[in-house]
Amino acid sequence: MHVYDDMAGKVALITGASGDIGLSIAKHLALLECIVYAGFRTNGDPLNRLNDEMVADGAKIFPVQCDITIEAERERLLDRIREEQGALHILINNAGKYRDNLFSRMSSDEFEDVVKTNLFGAFNMSRAALRLLRAAKNAAVINISSISGMTHSFGQSNYSASKAGLIGLTRTMAGELAPKGVRVNAIAPGLIDSAMTKRVPRNIIRQTMSAIPMNRLGEASEVAEVVSFLSSSASSYIVGQTIIVDGGLIMR
């Protein structure tokens, strides 16, 4: 793990932090001595276990239940950060969901539900947190998109649309907020070894891996390393970019 000396004491908020990628991001930022607020919707046990494991190292991880699609819950979480810290240096919009189906069979509810979390969730959380981010001075927002938003993804018209929208949102937010001291970038992971990937049929995994030049799945920690970089001053002149972490799968 790379160490960035300017991260100690920074306040970070991660949405969707109880999944594999979210947990790895929380761990990396806590090891960099950030104060981490780790949001989860229903199951905080993985975060509580991570906190128990790291408390001896002085890590500061605060699991917080929050459904980002509900305004009152978003405001409650941000009010807590405002009262306890006064500013927010890093926002990672990682919360996401999928409800796969063929386009011809996909219901409006399936489409809307995924877009509501993946795209509207990032928009609403970022907008609500803007005052806290500006108070931090030199803050960073990182949106977790996907290569599914950059290329076709069979059976995922809702997920692909939400992740493509997130890339567009990132660029526009970056252009508007950079003059106000808030850098916005995105990360587009490819096939990452995670609980979500384990639900994908094995034949699809094998077929996809054959097209990855590195011939393996990515690790959640490899996404977390890019998050750490984009959160630090080492990336101080990077704005509005989408960094692809996919082992070369789409080679854009």
Angle of CA points 162, 221, 9, to nearest 5°: 95
Q: What pairs with residue 12 in β-bridges?
A: 36, 90
Catalytic residue selected from 4, 37, 159, 237:
159
Alpha helices in the chain, H assignment, sequence order? 20-31, 45-54, 71-84, 108-115, 121-136, 157-177, 195-198, 202-209, 220-231
Please enumerate in sequence order all residues whose Cβ is within 8 A of that of 13, keeping only pairs 6 or more positions apart, or say none: 36, 37, 39, 77, 81, 88, 90, 91, 92, 129
- For the record, the structure tokens of 202 come out as 């094995």
Query: Is 159 tagged catalytic?
Result: yes
Taken as a whole, the chain contains a residue count of 252
Question: Using CA atoms, how far apart are residues 166 and 134, in angstroms rounded to an integer?
Answer: 21
CA distances from 96 to 116, 117, 143 (A): 9, 6, 11
Cα separation, 76 vs 25, whole angstroms: 22
Distances (CA, A) of 131 to 13, 101, 135, 195: 14, 38, 6, 34
Q: Which residues pair with 18 in a beta bridge?
A: none
How far is Cα 26 from Cα 92, in angstroms, rounded to an integer? 10
Phi/psi for 118 (5° steps) reads -70, -40
The catalytic residues are 159
